[in-house]
Amino acid sequence: MSRFEGKTAIVTGASRGIGLAIAERLVADGARVVITARKKEALDEAVASLGGAKHAIGVTGRADDLEHQAATVAAAIETFGSADFLVNNAGINPAYGPLMELDLDAARKITEVNCLGTVSWTQQVYRAWMRDHGGAIVNVASVGGLRPAPGIAYYGASKAMLIHLTEELALELGPHIRVNAVAPAVVKTRFAEALYQGREEEVANVYPLKRLGEPEDIGSVVAFLLSEDAAWMTGQTAVIDGGLTLAGGVE
């Protein structure tokens, strides 16, 4: 497939897991990708797995660091000639447990990375490329942002804010920039291990499709939302959950 031939995508938080699967799908569909992560060694390995410098480059830094964001967007344009797509995948959740025990510094960091980070990444790519050339953006939210998520309540609240930001950005940036989101349920990644490790069969049994998600399940939907196949979609959140929300659950 080459539907993204000549296009460049920035995917944040993409050295492994969902972010890397998104980058893999975009490369398979013909795009060049610029991926980010905090650890250079993991990022270098991810770039190699994507086919090396012809297809991908990595820029190391913290997702909420403005200088890192600007450098990443500049690298995309300087290396591949454009910044057509942005996937805001970077997210954190250092807090587990009830809200009454929530560490407020952790909560501030969650907000900074998961919500304000998305706004600032979008500002950077808008000013450097999309304002004049158009583009498409996908934000990676969560089913935890759609209904209460015991144990990860503040993370879920940050993803609810992200879903709302997606709608607001879609209104502001149309008609030449589309902004959508995906809301996965539990996907088998290191990030989500605490939600299923040691009891995967029990957790998956709640899902109508009787399995947890794989990173590739998310990558394919993100690629669709970035593509011209979704040209009349903006401000929408695609739920990718194996039917979990139909069954009334969030885990």
* Residues annotated catalytic, as ranges: 155
Rounded-to-integer distance, Cα 88 and Cα 91, Å:
8
Question: Would you tell me how many other CB atoms lie within 10 Å of the CB of residue 231?
Answer: 9
Dihedral, 37, 27, 10, 220 alpha carbons, nearest 10: -90
- Can you name the residues that pair with 181 across neighbouring β-strands? 139, 237
Instruction: Report whether 250 contacts 143 (CB < 8 A).
Output: yes
- Can you name the residues that pair with 5 across neighbouring β-strands? none
Rounded-to-integer distance, Cα 240 and Cα 244, Å:
9
Q: Are strands 85-88 and 56-60 parallel, antiparallel or unpaired?
A: unpaired
Asked if omega into 175 is within 30° of 0 (cis), the reply is yes
Rounded-to-integer distance, Cα 210 and Cα 227, Å:
29
Eight-state DSSP code of residue 128: I
Rounded-to-integer distance, Cα 243 and Cα 209, Å:
7
